[in-house]
Amino acid sequence: MRICCIGAGYVGGPTMTMIAHKCSDIIVDVVDINADRIASWNSDNLPVFEPNLDGLVKEVRNKNLFFSTDVETAVERADIIFISVNTPTKKYGYGAGRASDLSYVEACARTIAKVSKTGKIVVEKSTMPVRTADVIKTILASTGMKFQVLSNPEFLAEGTAVQDLENPDRVLIGGDEETQEGRDAIDVLASIYERWVSPEKIIKTNLWSSELSKLTANAFLAQRISSINSISALCEATGADVDQVATAVGSDTRIGSKFLKSSIGYGGSCFQKDLLNLIYLCEHFNLPEVAKYWRGVVEINEYQKKRFSDKIVESLFRNICGKRIAIFGFSFKENTNDTRETPAIDICRNLLSENAVLAFYDPQVSAEQICADLQIEKTDSRVEFCKSPYEASENAHAIVLLTHWDEFTKLDYEKIKKAMMSPAWIFDGRNCLNHRLLLELGYLVHAVGKGNLS
Ligand code: UDX
Ligand code: ADP
Protein backbone atom coordinates (compact mmCIF):
# COMPACT_ATOMS: atom_id res chain seq x y z
CA MET A 1 0.00 0.00 0.00
CA ARG A 2 1.15 3.55 -0.72
CA ILE A 3 -0.01 6.62 1.16
CA CYS A 4 0.46 10.22 0.10
CA CYS A 5 -0.02 13.18 2.39
CA ILE A 6 -0.39 16.59 0.76
CA GLY A 7 0.90 19.22 3.21
CA ALA A 8 4.03 18.79 5.33
CA GLY A 9 3.01 21.02 8.22
CA TYR A 10 2.49 20.62 11.95
CA VAL A 11 -0.20 18.00 11.33
CA GLY A 12 0.93 16.19 8.16
CA GLY A 13 4.60 15.76 9.12
CA PRO A 14 4.20 14.21 12.59
CA THR A 15 1.10 12.15 11.66
CA MET A 16 2.72 10.55 8.64
CA THR A 17 5.90 9.91 10.60
CA MET A 18 3.86 7.91 13.12
CA ILE A 19 2.05 5.94 10.38
CA ALA A 20 5.37 5.12 8.67
CA HIS A 21 6.79 4.09 12.01
CA LYS A 22 3.92 1.76 12.86
CA CYS A 23 3.44 0.31 9.35
CA SER A 24 6.82 -0.62 7.89
CA ASP A 25 5.10 -2.29 4.91
CA ILE A 26 3.40 0.94 3.82
CA ILE A 27 5.29 3.54 1.78
CA VAL A 28 4.41 7.04 2.91
CA ASP A 29 5.10 10.07 0.69
CA VAL A 30 4.72 13.49 2.30
CA VAL A 31 4.59 16.23 -0.32
CA ASP A 32 4.41 20.00 -0.17
CA ILE A 33 4.69 22.88 -2.61
CA ASN A 34 6.95 24.68 -0.14
CA ALA A 35 10.44 23.53 -1.19
CA ASP A 36 12.13 25.04 1.90
CA ARG A 37 9.85 23.08 4.18
CA ILE A 38 10.56 19.82 2.36
CA ALA A 39 14.31 20.51 2.41
CA SER A 40 14.00 21.09 6.13
CA TRP A 41 12.15 17.78 6.67
CA ASN A 42 15.01 16.10 4.78
CA SER A 43 17.67 17.76 6.96
CA ASP A 44 18.76 17.52 10.60
CA ASN A 45 16.81 20.69 11.30
CA LEU A 46 13.12 19.76 11.12
CA PRO A 47 10.68 22.63 10.42
CA VAL A 48 8.51 21.56 13.35
CA PHE A 49 9.86 21.41 16.88
CA GLU A 50 8.15 18.56 18.74
CA PRO A 51 9.65 16.58 21.62
CA ASN A 52 10.86 13.14 20.41
CA LEU A 53 9.95 13.77 16.76
CA ASP A 54 13.56 14.00 15.48
CA GLY A 55 14.41 10.45 16.50
CA LEU A 56 11.25 8.99 14.96
CA VAL A 57 11.81 10.80 11.66
CA LYS A 58 15.43 9.62 11.47
CA GLU A 59 14.38 6.00 11.98
CA VAL A 60 12.02 5.87 9.00
CA ARG A 61 13.08 8.67 6.65
CA ASN A 62 14.15 7.35 3.23
CA LYS A 63 13.11 3.83 4.32
CA ASN A 64 9.33 4.02 4.05
CA LEU A 65 8.86 7.75 4.70
CA PHE A 66 9.76 10.20 1.94
CA PHE A 67 9.50 13.99 1.83
CA SER A 68 9.26 15.53 -1.63
CA THR A 69 7.95 18.46 -3.67
CA ASP A 70 6.82 16.14 -6.46
CA VAL A 71 3.13 16.31 -5.54
CA GLU A 72 1.78 14.86 -8.77
CA THR A 73 3.91 11.69 -8.86
CA ALA A 74 3.13 10.89 -5.22
CA VAL A 75 -0.60 11.49 -5.72
CA GLU A 76 -0.69 9.36 -8.83
CA ARG A 77 1.01 6.40 -7.13
CA ALA A 78 -0.99 6.50 -3.89
CA ASP A 79 -3.89 4.30 -2.80
CA ILE A 80 -4.84 6.66 0.01
CA ILE A 81 -4.32 10.42 -0.09
CA PHE A 82 -4.47 12.56 3.04
CA ILE A 83 -5.21 16.25 2.56
CA SER A 84 -3.38 18.06 5.32
CA VAL A 85 -3.03 21.58 3.99
CA ASN A 86 -3.79 24.83 5.76
CA THR A 87 -7.37 26.14 6.00
CA PRO A 88 -6.83 29.67 7.34
CA THR A 89 -9.57 32.16 8.10
CA LYS A 90 -10.65 33.83 4.89
CA LYS A 91 -9.28 37.36 4.56
CA TYR A 92 -11.43 38.76 1.77
CA GLY A 93 -14.91 38.78 0.28
CA TYR A 94 -17.77 36.56 1.39
CA GLY A 95 -17.30 35.37 4.99
CA ALA A 96 -14.07 37.40 5.44
CA GLY A 97 -12.66 37.16 8.97
CA ARG A 98 -14.80 34.13 9.84
CA ALA A 99 -15.18 31.50 7.13
CA SER A 100 -12.33 29.11 6.34
CA ASP A 101 -10.38 29.67 3.16
CA LEU A 102 -10.75 26.39 1.29
CA SER A 103 -8.67 27.34 -1.74
CA TYR A 104 -5.77 25.07 -0.70
CA VAL A 105 -8.12 22.14 -0.20
CA GLU A 106 -9.76 22.75 -3.55
CA ALA A 107 -6.33 22.91 -5.24
CA CYS A 108 -5.51 19.49 -3.75
CA ALA A 109 -8.78 18.00 -5.00
CA ARG A 110 -8.08 19.36 -8.47
CA THR A 111 -4.56 17.90 -8.48
CA ILE A 112 -5.93 14.52 -7.41
CA ALA A 113 -8.57 14.67 -10.16
CA LYS A 114 -5.97 15.67 -12.74
CA VAL A 115 -3.32 13.01 -12.14
CA SER A 116 -5.23 9.97 -10.84
CA LYS A 117 -5.59 7.05 -13.22
CA THR A 118 -7.81 5.05 -10.84
CA GLY A 119 -10.23 5.86 -8.02
CA LYS A 120 -8.66 6.28 -4.55
CA ILE A 121 -9.50 6.95 -0.95
CA VAL A 122 -9.16 10.66 -0.16
CA VAL A 123 -8.96 11.61 3.51
CA GLU A 124 -9.61 15.07 4.95
CA LYS A 125 -7.03 15.43 7.71
CA SER A 126 -7.07 19.21 8.10
CA THR A 127 -9.94 20.65 10.13
CA MET A 128 -12.60 21.63 7.65
CA PRO A 129 -16.01 23.27 7.81
CA VAL A 130 -18.96 20.91 7.76
CA ARG A 131 -19.77 19.72 4.23
CA THR A 132 -16.31 20.44 2.79
CA ALA A 133 -16.28 16.83 1.68
CA ASP A 134 -18.97 17.84 -0.81
CA VAL A 135 -16.50 20.18 -2.52
CA ILE A 136 -13.90 17.44 -2.80
CA LYS A 137 -16.49 14.86 -3.91
CA THR A 138 -17.89 17.11 -6.63
CA ILE A 139 -14.44 17.82 -8.10
CA LEU A 140 -13.44 14.15 -8.00
CA ALA A 141 -16.78 12.99 -9.45
CA SER A 142 -16.04 15.02 -12.57
CA THR A 143 -13.30 12.48 -13.45
CA GLY A 144 -15.87 9.69 -13.84
CA MET A 145 -13.73 7.46 -11.55
CA LYS A 146 -14.91 6.18 -8.16
CA PHE A 147 -13.33 7.98 -5.21
CA GLN A 148 -14.24 7.61 -1.56
CA VAL A 149 -13.93 10.72 0.61
CA LEU A 150 -13.35 10.25 4.34
CA SER A 151 -13.03 12.70 7.21
CA ASN A 152 -10.34 11.75 9.72
CA PRO A 153 -9.64 14.86 11.81
CA GLU A 154 -6.46 15.00 13.82
CA PHE A 155 -6.79 15.72 17.55
CA LEU A 156 -3.09 15.95 18.39
CA ALA A 157 -1.99 18.97 20.38
CA GLU A 158 1.29 20.65 19.57
CA GLY A 159 4.09 20.05 22.02
CA THR A 160 2.70 16.59 22.77
CA ALA A 161 2.15 15.45 19.16
CA VAL A 162 4.20 12.26 19.41
CA GLN A 163 2.52 10.99 22.55
CA ASP A 164 -0.95 12.01 21.28
CA LEU A 165 -0.36 10.13 18.02
CA GLU A 166 1.06 7.11 19.79
CA ASN A 167 -1.76 6.92 22.29
CA PRO A 168 -4.79 8.87 21.05
CA ASP A 169 -7.98 9.22 23.14
CA ARG A 170 -9.86 8.26 19.98
CA VAL A 171 -9.50 8.08 16.22
CA LEU A 172 -12.49 9.48 14.36
CA ILE A 173 -13.31 8.29 10.85
CA GLY A 174 -16.32 9.67 8.99
CA GLY A 175 -17.42 8.33 5.64
CA ASP A 176 -20.30 7.35 3.45
CA GLU A 177 -21.92 4.85 5.85
CA GLU A 178 -24.84 4.30 3.52
CA THR A 179 -22.90 2.39 0.84
CA GLN A 180 -20.78 -0.76 0.94
CA GLU A 181 -17.91 1.08 -0.82
CA GLY A 182 -18.10 3.82 1.82
CA ARG A 183 -18.03 1.31 4.70
CA ASP A 184 -15.14 -0.55 3.06
CA ALA A 185 -13.14 2.67 2.74
CA ILE A 186 -13.74 3.45 6.43
CA ASP A 187 -12.51 -0.06 7.31
CA VAL A 188 -9.37 0.27 5.17
CA LEU A 189 -8.39 3.46 7.01
CA ALA A 190 -9.35 1.96 10.39
CA SER A 191 -7.12 -1.07 9.67
CA ILE A 192 -4.10 1.23 9.44
CA TYR A 193 -4.76 2.76 12.87
CA GLU A 194 -5.59 -0.66 14.33
CA ARG A 195 -1.92 -1.57 13.98
CA TRP A 196 -1.38 0.38 17.21
CA VAL A 197 -4.72 1.77 18.42
CA SER A 198 -7.27 -0.55 20.03
CA PRO A 199 -10.46 -0.94 17.93
CA GLU A 200 -12.71 0.40 20.76
CA LYS A 201 -10.99 3.75 20.36
CA ILE A 202 -11.85 4.00 16.68
CA ILE A 203 -15.12 5.85 16.21
CA LYS A 204 -16.87 5.48 12.85
CA THR A 205 -19.48 8.06 11.86
CA ASN A 206 -21.01 9.70 8.84
CA LEU A 207 -18.99 12.42 7.12
CA TRP A 208 -20.81 15.42 8.54
CA SER A 209 -20.69 14.17 12.15
CA SER A 210 -16.95 13.71 11.83
CA GLU A 211 -16.37 17.16 10.35
CA LEU A 212 -18.59 18.80 12.98
CA SER A 213 -17.10 16.82 15.90
CA LYS A 214 -13.67 18.27 15.27
CA LEU A 215 -14.97 21.85 15.27
CA THR A 216 -17.05 21.10 18.37
CA ALA A 217 -14.17 19.50 20.28
CA ASN A 218 -12.00 22.57 19.71
CA ALA A 219 -14.87 24.92 20.58
CA PHE A 220 -15.49 23.05 23.88
CA LEU A 221 -11.80 23.16 24.80
CA ALA A 222 -11.58 26.88 24.03
CA GLN A 223 -14.80 27.45 25.97
CA ARG A 224 -13.32 25.87 29.11
CA ILE A 225 -10.32 28.18 28.92
CA SER A 226 -12.51 31.25 28.39
CA SER A 227 -14.74 30.13 31.28
CA ILE A 228 -11.87 29.91 33.75
CA ASN A 229 -10.31 33.09 32.32
CA SER A 230 -13.56 34.98 32.87
CA ILE A 231 -13.50 33.81 36.48
CA SER A 232 -9.85 34.93 36.79
CA ALA A 233 -11.01 38.54 36.41
CA LEU A 234 -13.46 38.03 39.26
CA CYS A 235 -10.72 36.41 41.37
CA GLU A 236 -8.47 39.43 40.92
CA ALA A 237 -11.34 41.71 41.95
CA THR A 238 -12.29 39.69 45.03
CA GLY A 239 -9.06 38.26 46.42
CA ALA A 240 -9.81 34.69 45.35
CA ASP A 241 -7.13 32.50 43.75
CA VAL A 242 -8.08 31.12 40.35
CA ASP A 243 -5.91 28.00 40.68
CA GLN A 244 -7.64 27.13 43.94
CA VAL A 245 -11.04 27.72 42.35
CA ALA A 246 -10.06 25.55 39.34
CA THR A 247 -8.93 22.72 41.62
CA ALA A 248 -12.10 22.87 43.68
CA VAL A 249 -14.36 23.05 40.63
CA GLY A 250 -12.41 20.53 38.56
CA SER A 251 -12.44 17.87 41.26
CA ASP A 252 -16.13 17.34 40.47
CA THR A 253 -15.84 14.34 38.16
CA ARG A 254 -18.67 15.72 36.04
CA ILE A 255 -16.53 18.79 35.30
CA GLY A 256 -13.03 17.29 35.31
CA SER A 257 -9.71 18.98 36.02
CA LYS A 258 -8.13 19.32 32.59
CA PHE A 259 -8.02 22.50 30.53
CA LEU A 260 -8.84 24.73 33.47
CA LYS A 261 -5.49 26.50 33.68
CA SER A 262 -6.13 30.20 33.60
CA SER A 263 -3.77 32.13 31.32
CA ILE A 264 -3.34 35.17 29.13
CA GLY A 265 -5.73 33.50 26.68
CA TYR A 266 -5.59 30.59 24.28
CA GLY A 267 -3.57 30.76 21.07
CA GLY A 268 -2.58 28.32 18.35
CA SER A 269 -3.71 27.67 14.84
CA CYS A 270 -6.95 25.90 15.74
CA PHE A 271 -9.09 27.42 18.47
CA GLN A 272 -9.64 30.91 17.07
CA LYS A 273 -10.00 29.72 13.48
CA ASP A 274 -12.39 26.91 14.36
CA LEU A 275 -14.53 29.07 16.63
CA LEU A 276 -14.82 31.74 13.94
CA ASN A 277 -15.74 29.05 11.48
CA LEU A 278 -18.35 27.59 13.83
CA ILE A 279 -19.86 31.05 14.34
CA TYR A 280 -19.92 31.58 10.59
CA LEU A 281 -21.63 28.23 10.04
CA CYS A 282 -24.30 29.07 12.64
CA GLU A 283 -24.96 32.39 10.94
CA HIS A 284 -25.06 30.70 7.56
CA PHE A 285 -27.69 28.24 8.82
CA ASN A 286 -29.63 31.12 10.40
CA LEU A 287 -28.89 30.25 14.04
CA PRO A 288 -27.94 33.71 15.41
CA GLU A 289 -28.42 32.73 19.09
CA VAL A 290 -26.00 29.85 18.76
CA ALA A 291 -23.51 32.07 16.93
CA LYS A 292 -23.77 34.65 19.73
CA TYR A 293 -23.11 32.00 22.38
CA TRP A 294 -19.83 30.95 20.77
CA ARG A 295 -18.82 34.52 19.97
CA GLY A 296 -18.69 35.08 23.74
CA VAL A 297 -15.82 32.58 23.96
CA VAL A 298 -13.81 34.59 21.42
CA GLU A 299 -14.63 37.88 23.14
CA ILE A 300 -13.43 36.68 26.55
CA ASN A 301 -10.16 35.59 24.96
CA GLU A 302 -9.61 39.07 23.49
CA TYR A 303 -10.58 40.63 26.83
CA GLN A 304 -8.10 38.44 28.71
CA LYS A 305 -5.15 39.50 26.54
CA LYS A 306 -6.08 43.17 26.78
CA ARG A 307 -6.62 42.96 30.54
CA PHE A 308 -3.12 41.55 30.98
CA SER A 309 -1.31 44.17 28.89
CA ASP A 310 -3.36 46.96 30.51
CA LYS A 311 -2.30 45.66 33.93
CA ILE A 312 1.37 45.90 32.92
CA VAL A 313 1.03 49.49 31.69
CA GLU A 314 -0.98 50.48 34.76
CA SER A 315 1.47 48.89 37.21
CA LEU A 316 4.45 50.63 35.63
CA PHE A 317 2.81 53.99 36.43
CA ARG A 318 1.12 54.24 33.02
CA ASN A 319 4.49 55.10 31.54
CA ILE A 320 6.43 52.38 29.79
CA CYS A 321 7.93 54.58 27.07
CA GLY A 322 11.63 53.64 26.76
CA LYS A 323 11.43 51.15 29.65
CA ARG A 324 13.09 47.78 29.05
CA ILE A 325 10.69 44.89 29.54
CA ALA A 326 11.89 41.27 29.34
CA ILE A 327 9.53 39.02 27.40
CA PHE A 328 9.89 35.39 28.51
CA GLY A 329 8.47 33.18 25.77
CA PHE A 330 6.64 33.97 22.54
CA SER A 331 5.26 30.65 21.23
CA PHE A 332 1.55 30.03 21.85
CA LYS A 333 2.38 27.28 24.35
CA GLU A 334 5.44 25.46 25.65
CA ASN A 335 7.40 22.83 23.69
CA THR A 336 6.58 24.21 20.27
CA ASN A 337 8.10 26.81 17.95
CA ASP A 338 4.64 27.67 16.60
CA THR A 339 3.53 31.27 17.04
CA ARG A 340 0.24 31.19 15.15
CA GLU A 341 -2.35 33.24 17.08
CA THR A 342 -0.05 33.34 20.10
CA PRO A 343 -1.44 35.73 22.72
CA ALA A 344 2.09 37.17 22.84
CA ILE A 345 1.38 38.99 19.56
CA ASP A 346 -1.46 41.16 20.89
CA ILE A 347 0.19 41.71 24.27
CA CYS A 348 3.54 42.76 22.75
CA ARG A 349 1.82 44.97 20.19
CA ASN A 350 0.01 46.79 22.99
CA LEU A 351 3.29 47.32 24.84
CA LEU A 352 5.05 48.48 21.67
CA SER A 353 2.26 50.96 20.99
CA GLU A 354 3.33 52.59 24.28
CA ASN A 355 6.94 52.60 23.02
CA ALA A 356 8.31 50.13 25.55
CA VAL A 357 11.62 48.41 24.71
CA LEU A 358 10.98 44.67 24.55
CA ALA A 359 13.84 42.24 25.18
CA PHE A 360 12.73 38.84 23.89
CA TYR A 361 13.86 35.39 24.87
CA ASP A 362 12.18 32.23 23.58
CA PRO A 363 14.09 28.93 23.42
CA GLN A 364 12.61 27.96 20.02
CA VAL A 365 11.16 30.98 18.25
CA SER A 366 13.52 32.94 15.97
CA ALA A 367 13.91 36.73 15.96
CA GLU A 368 12.75 36.73 12.33
CA GLN A 369 9.50 34.99 13.28
CA ILE A 370 8.83 37.42 16.14
CA CYS A 371 9.43 40.41 13.82
CA ALA A 372 7.17 38.93 11.15
CA ASP A 373 4.40 38.37 13.71
CA LEU A 374 4.72 41.87 15.15
CA GLN A 375 5.14 43.40 11.68
CA ILE A 376 8.30 45.25 12.62
CA GLU A 377 11.89 45.36 11.36
CA LYS A 378 14.60 43.53 13.29
CA THR A 379 16.47 46.85 13.45
CA ASP A 380 13.54 48.59 15.22
CA SER A 381 15.00 50.30 18.32
CA ARG A 382 12.05 49.06 20.43
CA VAL A 383 13.09 45.40 20.22
CA GLU A 384 16.07 43.29 21.28
CA PHE A 385 16.60 39.57 20.91
CA CYS A 386 18.48 37.81 23.69
CA LYS A 387 20.26 34.48 24.03
CA SER A 388 19.12 33.86 27.60
CA PRO A 389 16.45 35.00 30.03
CA TYR A 390 19.26 36.47 32.15
CA GLU A 391 20.38 38.71 29.29
CA ALA A 392 16.77 39.76 28.58
CA SER A 393 16.13 40.83 32.17
CA GLU A 394 19.26 42.96 32.59
CA ASN A 395 18.21 46.52 33.47
CA ALA A 396 14.58 45.57 32.83
CA HIS A 397 11.77 47.17 34.81
CA ALA A 398 9.66 44.07 34.41
CA ILE A 399 9.62 40.45 33.33
CA VAL A 400 6.54 39.45 31.39
CA LEU A 401 6.18 35.67 31.21
CA LEU A 402 4.02 34.68 28.26
CA THR A 403 4.84 31.00 27.62
CA HIS A 404 5.12 28.22 30.18
CA TRP A 405 8.55 26.93 29.13
CA ASP A 406 9.85 24.71 31.91
CA GLU A 407 13.21 26.52 32.02
CA PHE A 408 11.51 29.70 33.30
CA THR A 409 10.52 27.90 36.49
CA LYS A 410 14.16 26.94 37.19
CA LEU A 411 15.91 30.30 36.87
CA ASP A 412 17.90 31.98 39.61
CA TYR A 413 15.46 34.80 40.31
CA GLU A 414 17.63 36.19 43.06
CA LYS A 415 20.45 36.77 40.57
CA ILE A 416 18.00 38.13 38.00
CA LYS A 417 16.58 40.67 40.44
CA LYS A 418 20.02 42.10 41.20
CA ALA A 419 20.47 42.92 37.51
CA MET A 420 17.00 44.51 37.14
CA MET A 421 15.79 48.03 37.81
CA SER A 422 13.90 48.71 41.05
CA PRO A 423 11.09 48.20 41.69
CA ALA A 424 11.31 44.92 39.77
CA TRP A 425 8.02 43.57 38.48
CA ILE A 426 7.11 40.07 37.36
CA PHE A 427 3.90 39.54 35.40
CA ASP A 428 3.28 35.81 35.33
CA GLY A 429 0.88 35.20 32.46
CA ARG A 430 0.87 31.44 33.01
CA ASN A 431 0.84 31.15 36.81
CA CYS A 432 3.85 28.88 36.64
CA LEU A 433 6.30 30.63 38.98
CA ASN A 434 6.66 30.38 42.75
CA HIS A 435 4.99 33.65 43.68
CA ARG A 436 5.67 33.36 47.41
CA LEU A 437 9.40 33.03 46.76
CA LEU A 438 9.40 35.94 44.29
CA LEU A 439 7.66 38.17 46.85
CA GLU A 440 10.25 37.18 49.46
CA LEU A 441 13.00 38.12 47.01
CA GLY A 442 11.44 41.58 46.80
CA TYR A 443 9.69 41.43 43.45
CA LEU A 444 6.31 43.02 42.85
CA VAL A 445 4.23 40.24 41.36
CA HIS A 446 1.09 40.14 39.25
CA ALA A 447 -0.33 36.78 38.21
CA VAL A 448 -3.52 35.93 36.34
CA GLY A 449 -6.47 35.45 38.67
CA LYS A 450 -4.48 35.93 41.87
CA GLY A 451 -6.24 38.56 43.87
CA ASN A 452 -4.06 38.47 46.97
CA LEU A 453 -0.41 38.74 45.93
CA SER A 454 1.47 41.10 48.24
C1 UDX B 1 -5.63 22.14 20.12
C2 UDX B 1 -6.42 20.91 20.61
O3 UDX B 1 -6.04 20.63 21.97
C4 UDX B 1 -6.12 19.71 19.71
O5 UDX B 1 -6.92 18.61 20.10
C6 UDX B 1 -6.44 20.09 18.28
O7 UDX B 1 -6.11 19.01 17.41
C8 UDX B 1 -5.67 21.33 17.86
O9 UDX B 1 -5.95 22.40 18.76
P10 UDX B 1 -3.12 22.97 20.33
O11 UDX B 1 -3.63 24.25 19.76
O12 UDX B 1 -1.91 22.37 19.74
O13 UDX B 1 -4.26 21.84 20.26
O14 UDX B 1 -2.79 23.19 21.89
P15 UDX B 1 -3.63 23.16 23.26
O16 UDX B 1 -2.85 22.36 24.22
O17 UDX B 1 -5.03 22.78 23.04
O18 UDX B 1 -3.55 24.67 23.74
C19 UDX B 1 -4.19 25.72 23.04
C20 UDX B 1 -4.02 27.03 23.79
O21 UDX B 1 -4.76 27.03 24.99
C22 UDX B 1 -2.58 27.34 24.17
O23 UDX B 1 -2.34 28.71 23.95
C24 UDX B 1 -2.53 26.99 25.65
O25 UDX B 1 -1.54 27.70 26.34
C26 UDX B 1 -3.92 27.39 26.09
N27 UDX B 1 -4.40 26.69 27.29
C28 UDX B 1 -4.56 25.33 27.28
C29 UDX B 1 -4.73 27.42 28.43
O30 UDX B 1 -4.62 28.65 28.44
N31 UDX B 1 -5.21 26.75 29.53
C32 UDX B 1 -5.39 25.40 29.55
O33 UDX B 1 -5.84 24.87 30.57
C34 UDX B 1 -5.04 24.67 28.38
P1 ADP C 1 -1.17 22.45 9.80
O2 ADP C 1 -0.90 23.08 11.14
O3 ADP C 1 -2.64 22.22 9.56
O4 ADP C 1 -0.35 21.25 9.52
P5 ADP C 1 0.58 24.09 8.16
O6 ADP C 1 0.35 25.50 7.68
O7 ADP C 1 1.66 23.84 9.17
O8 ADP C 1 -0.83 23.57 8.70
O9 ADP C 1 0.87 23.14 6.91
C10 ADP C 1 0.14 23.10 5.75
C11 ADP C 1 1.11 22.84 4.58
O12 ADP C 1 0.33 22.60 3.40
C13 ADP C 1 2.06 24.00 4.24
O14 ADP C 1 3.40 23.57 4.35
C15 ADP C 1 1.69 24.38 2.77
O16 ADP C 1 2.82 24.72 1.98
C17 ADP C 1 1.08 23.08 2.27
N18 ADP C 1 0.20 23.23 1.12
C19 ADP C 1 -0.82 24.12 0.95
N20 ADP C 1 -1.42 23.95 -0.24
C21 ADP C 1 -0.79 22.92 -0.87
C22 ADP C 1 -0.95 22.25 -2.12
N23 ADP C 1 -1.92 22.60 -2.99
N24 ADP C 1 -0.10 21.24 -2.43
C25 ADP C 1 0.87 20.87 -1.56
N26 ADP C 1 1.07 21.45 -0.36
C27 ADP C 1 0.26 22.46 0.00
Model confidence at 188: pLDDT above 80 = yes
Query: Is 104 touching ligand 2 by the criterion CB < 6 Å?
Result: yes
Mean pLDDT on 289-315: 98
Pairing assessment for the beta strands 324-328 and 357-361 based on DSSP bridges: parallel
Mean pLDDT on 121-143: 91
Model confidence at 99: pLDDT above 90 = no
Average pLDDT, the chain: 96
Whether 171 contacts 201, CB under 8 Å: yes
Mean pLDDT on 173-178: 96
Euclidean distance between CA atoms 120 and 47, whole angstroms: 29
Question: For residue range 44-83, what is the model confidence (pLDDT) as tens digits?
Answer: 999 998 999 999 999 999 999 999 999 999 999 999 999 9
- Per-residue three-class SS string for the chain: CEEEEECCCCCHHHHHHHHHHHCCCCEEEEECCCHHHHHHHCCCCCCCCCCCHHHHHHHHECCCEEEECCHHHHHHHCCEEEECCCCCECCCCCCCCCCECCHHHHHHHHHHHHHCCCCCEEEECCCCCCCHHHHHHHHHHCCCCCCEEEECCCCCCCCCHHHHHHCCCCEEEEECCCCHHHHHHHHHHHHHHCCCCCHHHEEEEEHHHHHHHHHHHHHHHHHHHHHHHHHHHHHHHHCCEHHHHHHHHHCCCCCCCCCCCCCCCCCCCCHHHHHHHHHHHHHHCCCHHHHHHHHHHHHHHHHHHHHHHHHHHHHCCCCCCCCEEEEECCCCCCCCCCCCCCHHHHHHHHHHHCCCEEEEECCCCCHHHHHHHHCCCCCCCCEEECCCHHHHHCCCCEEEECCCCHHHHHCCHHHHHHHCCCCCEEEECCCCCCHHHHHHCCCEEEECCECCCC
Question: Does 270 qualify as catalytic in the annotation?
Answer: yes
Q: Which atom of ligand 1 is nearest to the CA of 11?
A: 7
Question: For residue range 337-393, what is the model confidence (pLDDT) as tens digits?
Answer: 999 999 999 999 999 999 999 999 999 999 999 999 999 999 999 999 999 999 999
What is the model's pLDDT at position 20? 98
Model confidence at 199: pLDDT above 90 = yes
Question: For residue range 390-418, what is the model confidence (pLDDT) as tens digits?
Answer: 999 999 999 999 999 999 999 999 999 99
Q: Which ligand is the nearest neighbour of the Cα of 220?
A: 1
Mean pLDDT on 109-128: 95
Q: Which residue has the higher pLDDT, 113 or 132?
A: 113
**Contacts with 128 (C-beta within 8 Å, 6 or more apart), sequence order:** 87, 100, 102, 105, 151, 211
What is the model's pLDDT at position 65? 98
Query: Is 109 touching ligand 2 by the criterion CB < 6 Å?
Result: no
Q: Whose CA is nearest to atom 11 of ligand 1?
A: 268
User: Which among 71, 65, 93 is positioned nearest to 84, based on CA atoms?
Assistant: 71
Which of 4, 5, 235, 270 is labelled catalytic?
Answer: 270
Q: Which ligand is the nearest neighbour of the Cα of 154?
A: 1
Query: Is 240 touching ligand 2 by the criterion CB < 6 Å?
Result: no
What is the model's pLDDT at position 89? 87
Least confident of 25-29, 36-40, 124-128: 124-128
Least confident of 96-110, 175-189, 319-333: 96-110
Name the residue of 36, 83, 104 to mutate for ligand 2: max ligand atoms within 8 A of Cβ: 104
Model confidence at 454: pLDDT above 80 = no
Model confidence at 137: pLDDT above 80 = yes
How far, in Å, from the CA of 59 to the mean position of ligand 1?
29
Mean pLDDT on 115-131: 92
Model confidence at 452: pLDDT above 80 = no
Give the model's confidence band at 130: pLDDT under 50 very low, under 70 low, under 90 confident, else very high: confident
Model confidence at 451: pLDDT above 90 = no
Sheet containing 121-124: which strands, arranged edge to edge?
A: 65-68, 27-31, 2-6, 80-83, 121-124, 148-151, 171-175, 202-206
How far, in Å, from the CA of 102 to the mean position of ligand 2?
12
Euclidean distance between CA atoms 308 and 320, whole angstroms: 14
What is the model's pLDDT at position 165? 98
Give the binding-site residues of ligand 1, using a 6 Å CB cut-off. Answer: 154-158, 218, 221, 225, 259-261, 263, 266-268, 270-271, 332-333
What is the model's pLDDT at position 185? 98
Distances (CA, A) of 144 to 57, 72, 118, 131, 147: 38, 19, 10, 21, 9
Give the model's confidence band at 164: pLDDT under 50 very low, under 70 low, under 90 confident, else very high: very high
Q: Whose CA is nearest to atom 9 of ligand 1?
A: 270
**Contacts with 282 (C-beta within 8 Å, 6 or more apart), sequence order:** 288, 290, 291, 294
How far, in Å, from the CA of 392 to the mean position of ligand 2?
34
What is the model's pLDDT at position 100? 87
How far, in Å, from the CA of 162 to the mean position of ligand 1?
15
What is the model's pLDDT at position 60? 98
Sheet containing 357-361: which strands, arranged edge to edge?
A: 383-385, 357-361, 324-328, 398-401, 425-428, 444-447
What is the model's pLDDT at position 453? 79
Name the residue of 85, 122, 135, 269 to mutate for ligand 2: max ligand atoms within 8 A of Cβ: 85
Query: Is 8 touching ligand 2 by the criterion CB < 6 Å?
Result: yes
Give the model's confidence band at 128: pLDDT under 50 very low, under 70 low, under 90 confident, else very high: confident
Q: Which atom of ligand 2 is nearest to the CA of 87?
A: 3
